[in-house]
Amino acid sequence: MTFIPSGQWARYKRIINKFHEDANKDELIWLPEMDFIPLHGEDQGQFGDPVNLDCLFLYNYFRTWPIIGYTINGEVDKQSCVALINVDYLKRIHPERIDSHNRLIYKPDKDLFIHRGDKYMATGDSFVSQAHDEPLLFMLILKRFLNQPQTYNG
């Protein structure tokens, strides 16, 4: 028994995807790790070409995560944020970066993400909104990267 008719699901999808056009305007620069040697052996650092993604950000989303870490050298800010990315947008703009399950293909332990000058590493991902037949939004959990690599000067 279906409580929500397919026409209503289609309307819901249109609303979520249209909302992306209005709200997801903050830029996230994704620096994927290069997993090949450049054709001519040029030294380009460890990252490939930057990928610009339009996202909606939620700050301090996980209040149970540690925000301040104490070390011998003093306090370290471990503040996190979450980037919400529209799956339909990813399919249209970067179809080669989506797998068959509509997930972003990235290396959480290697790729670097830059938002407003701060460098982040991805610590997880999840779908956060779905229709009856497919996910609509993708959540990328970002944690401030403490050891800033010097191989990217963008």
Using alpha carbons, select from 137, 144, 104 the residue that is nearest to residue 123. 144
pLDDT 10s digits, 19-51: 888 887 899 999 998 766 556 655 555 778 899
Domain ranges of the chain: 6-144
Tokens (6 digits) for 138:
């993708």
User: By percentage, how much of the chain surpasses pLDDT 70?
Assistant: 74
pLDDT 10s digits, 53-88: 999 988 766 554 555 666 777 666 556 788 999 999
pLDDT 10s digits, 70-79: 677 766 655 6
